[in-house]
Amino acid sequence: MWAMNNHHSNIVKLLLAHGASLDNIDVSTIEPSAVHSTSDTGNHDWYNEGSVEQFEAHMEECELQRRMDMESSLGIEMDLASFGLEEGLEGGLGIEQGERGLIEDDFVWNKCLPEQMYVFSEDHIPCILDMVITDFEPLRSVDQKVFPADVIFLSIRFAHYYGTNDMLNKLLYGTLERVQGLMKHKSDDMAILAFWISNCTLLLYYVKKDPGLLVAVIDFQLQLTELIHEIYLSFIQESKTRIEKHLDDSIIDYETISAHENVTFENEWRIFRRQKKKDAANSYFLHEKHATPSPLLITILLSSIFFILDVYNVHPVIFKQAISQIFYWLSMELFNRIIMKKACLSRTKAMDIRLNISVIEDWTRVNSYQFENGINTRSSRLEYKSFSMYDCLKNHMAPLIQLLQWLQCITSLNSIQNIETTIGALDLLTSAQLLYVVKNYRLEVDENKIGKEIVRYLSQQVTKNTNARRESLKKIKNKTIDASSTPRSFLNKEKPGCSNLLMDATLMLPFTLPTNIDLLVNYGTKVIEVNKKKQKYFVPVIPSDFMDMLNKKVNNSNNENQQTKTSDNTKSDNEIQNTESTKNKSSETFKDTAS
């Protein structure tokens, strides 16, 4: 079994030549009809006999098919570099057999060869799932990053091609249940979440790559995609939780310009300002106390979150969506906190917040290469090849930036022309939001008053947009058209009430899983650099040390089960002996009484 699961074909042939069987399961005893009962993938005659001649014949057939596939791919006019093929063509093999360094074509996907599966019995399924899911602690070593996906897939292959439907279903849905339970139990562990996003995506790729499994386990694939989405949502939620508790101290209330501490506002009690000056005597200690919260803290959190996704090889398509979702939430959450907190509706406060946000923008510019390189080079989609973390942040921050710009220029607008030009440029803000800011603006002492023309102009715009919306709804009602057909942005733009002032920070952006081409580009052909001397491919292989650990755990489980059965048998024998002894005593007593 060890030789089969580690690609030692010479050892397999030697063992087969001396009459070895596949772990008490003789391939020659399996009827073709039994194989066809679990899958209909074509001619399965390679299962009929486990002879050396048949093994060598099919190895030659696989090599011939590999050469034909490579020749056909070279005949297509395309940029092989975009699919990561040039490294494989130019680099050659140069890697010992049995290691993960085998090129991707060495794994035969359209046939289940004896060394390309993990042999087990149905009783071993709980033990296997315990080791690779429940009790598995992910580390950053290359083998461990994909170990669960490899073991589960190779086990699924054996259960599908050599086992029964009951064995296959028990393994498939047991895997889903174990991962779901682990995610609920460790929903706050971002490393666990990222690790299983990566492994579930890789497992999905493995299953889709195997023609037999592709059509046989469709329901499992659907549930696996839903599970990936659930883990992704948990990861995003945990990311937001870790950032959210620092937003006020690090962005909203953090004062970059120390001179703004002495700014006074009209119609505010000065007693609070005196109290603040009194506390200024201990400014040194206060500074030390509040030294940690700063915009840099937010960038550190973002670096940690993205590093976790990167180190566990989360697929670039999912990685990009996670970045976009976090940036979107960050922008909308800051927008809502500013507009609903009157202390932030001032010129000086807007300047401080804008400077704090610029720290995050600078961080994306300086550190984007670390994360963009993996996303862009391992993506087939055009939008991901040109993905820029800075542009992504800039796009999502646009409404927030416009709000801060509005706060900084309100009191400088002195003509209708300037008002119209400025408001026209703030196209991502509604007139209701602009008017709300004007009415709740905190004037500084000696600051220019807000012109009445601004209030009048914005009030007219709000009324105009509200009436237009009502007329539109009437037309829709008269035409008996479903409201969902109306553009959502138009319906929500001037909706009355407080909800119109706030952005939807809870909105989840559309989530899409990697397509088959995306999976192939990232897992099927692209090299992942481990270090300067070694490179490895995503191929389902169980390392020998983990194979030993797995076999040891399975054997221990067998011994425990055997001891349990022996103990139960001993108890049963004792109970039978006690029963017979009681019967004999009763019989003797009856005879004595009768005599």
At residue 117, the pLDDT reads 92
Averaged pLDDT, 212-237: 96
Phi-psi region of 563 (alpha: psi -120 to 50; beta: other; left: phi over 0): alpha
- Give 38's pLDDT tier (boundaries 50, 70, 90): very low
The model's pLDDT over 331-349, given as tens digits with 9 standing for 90+, comes to 999 999 999 999 999 999 9
Amino acid at 507: L
Averaged pLDDT, 231-255: 95
Angle 549-555-557 from CA coordinates, rounded to 5°: 105
The answer to whether 198 and 309 are in contact (CB under 8 A) is: no
Distance separating alpha carbons of residues 304 and 238, to the nearest angstrom: 12
Number of residues that this document lists for the chain: 595
Range in 276-285, 450-459, 469-478 the model is least confident about: 276-285
Does residue 191 have a pLDDT over 90?
A: yes
Averaged pLDDT, 106-115: 86
Higher-confidence position of 269 and 547: 547
The answer to whether 323 and 371 are in contact (CB under 8 A) is: yes
The model's pLDDT over 248-267, given as tens digits with 9 standing for 90+, comes to 999 999 987 765 566 666 66
Higher-confidence position of 522 and 84: 522
Averaged pLDDT, 379-406: 83
- Using the Cα atoms of residue 32, residue 34, residue 35 and residue 39 in order, give the sign of their dihedral: positive
User: Could you tell me the maximum CA-CA distance found in the chain, to the nearest angstrom?
Assistant: 130
The model's pLDDT over 567-585, given as tens digits with 9 standing for 90+, comes to 555 555 566 666 566 656 6
Does residue 566 have a pLDDT over 50?
A: yes
At residue 534, the pLDDT reads 38
At residue 447, the pLDDT reads 82
At residue 550, the pLDDT reads 78
| CA count, 13 A, side-chain hemisphere, 408 | 15
Count Cβ neighbours within 10 Å for each residue of 77-98 and write b for 16 or more, e otherwise.
eeeeeebbbeebeeeeeebeeb
Q: Which of 100, 64, 104 is nearest to 84 (CA)?
A: 104
Count Cβ neighbours within 10 Å for each residue of 314-345 and write b for 16 or more, e otherwise.
bbbbbbbbbbbbbbbbbbbbbbbbbbeeeebb
Averaged pLDDT, 302-317: 92
At residue 502, the pLDDT reads 94
Phi-psi region of 84 (alpha: psi -120 to 50; beta: other; left: phi over 0): left
At residue 101, the pLDDT reads 45
Range in 299-303, 445-449, 553-557 the model is least confident about: 553-557
At residue 521, the pLDDT reads 78
- Using the Cα atoms of residue 361, residue 367, residue 369 and residue 375 in order, give the sign of their dihedral: negative
CA distances from 443 to 14, 267, 468 (A): 89, 9, 33
Distance separating alpha carbons of residues 246 and 92, to the nearest angstrom: 51
Does residue 499 have a pLDDT over 60?
A: no
Q: Average model confidence (pLDDT) for the chain?
A: 75
SS3 label, residue 345: coil
Does residue 226 have a pLDDT over 70?
A: yes
Amino acid at 532: K
At residue 367, the pLDDT reads 82
Q: By percentage, how much of the chain surpasses pLDDT 90?
A: 43
Q: Hunting for tokens 């937010």 — which residue is that? A: 298
Averaged pLDDT, 309-315: 91
At residue 526, the pLDDT reads 42
The model's pLDDT over 433-462, given as tens digits with 9 standing for 90+, comes to 999 999 999 988 788 888 889 999 999 999
- Give 61's pLDDT tier (boundaries 50, 70, 90): low
Residues whose CB is less than 8 angstroms from the CB of residue 470 and which lie 6 or more positions away in sequence, other chains included: none
Distance separating alpha carbons of residues 1 and 138, to the nearest angstrom: 25
Does residue 27 have a pLDDT over 50?
A: no
At residue 542, the pLDDT reads 84
Distance separating alpha carbons of residues 170 and 595, to the nearest angstrom: 64
The answer to whether 203 and 149 are in contact (CB under 8 A) is: yes
At residue 140, the pLDDT reads 62
Amino acid at 505: A
Pick from 133-147, 495-509, 510-524 the range whose average pLDDT is largest: 510-524
The answer to whether 347 and 444 are in contact (CB under 8 A) is: yes
> Which residue ranges make up each domain of the chain?
2-235+515-542, 245-267+292-500, 543-595
- Give 4's pLDDT tier (boundaries 50, 70, 90): low
The answer to whether 329 and 393 are in contact (CB under 8 A) is: no
Q: Which residues sit opposite 528 in a β-bridge?
A: 536
Averaged pLDDT, 112-132: 91
DSSP character string of 280-320: GGGHHHHHHHTSS-SHHHHHHHHHHHHHHHHHTT--HHHHH
Distance separating alpha carbons of residues 572 and 580, to the nearest angstrom: 12
The model's pLDDT over 414-440, given as tens digits with 9 standing for 90+, comes to 888 999 999 999 999 999 999 999 999
Q: Identify the H or E element spanning 21.
A: none
Q: Which of 463, 441, 327, 446 is nearest to 387 (CA)?
A: 327
The model's pLDDT over 346-368, given as tens digits with 9 standing for 90+, comes to 999 999 999 999 999 999 998 87
The answer to whether 250 and 297 are in contact (CB under 8 A) is: yes
What tokens does 50 get?
């486990």
Task: Write out 106-159 in H/E/C secondary structure.
Answer: HCCCCCCCCCCCCCCCHHHHHHHHHHHHHCCCCCCCHHHHCHHHHHHHHHHHHH
Distance separating alpha carbons of residues 84 and 318, to the nearest angstrom: 19
Q: Which residues sit opposite 22 in a β-bridge?
A: 25
Higher-confidence position of 530 and 365: 365
DSSP character string of 525-572: I--EE-SSS-EE-------HHHHHHHHHHHHHHHHHHHHHHHHHHHHH
- Give 279's pLDDT tier (boundaries 50, 70, 90): very low
Does residue 557 have a pLDDT over 80?
A: no
SS3 label, residue 245: coil
- Using the Cα atoms of residue 219, residue 220, residue 222 and residue 226 in order, give the sign of their dihedral: positive
CA distances from 318 to 300, 315, 362, 373, 539 (A): 21, 5, 24, 15, 21
Q: In 378-448, which residue ranges form alpha helices assigned H by DSSP?
A: 382-385, 389-409, 416-425, 431-439
Does residue 294 have a pLDDT over 80?
A: yes
- Give 486's pLDDT tier (boundaries 50, 70, 90): very low
Q: Output DSSP code: residue 523.
A: I
Q: Which residues sit opposite 25 in a β-bridge?
A: 22
At residue 39, the pLDDT reads 41
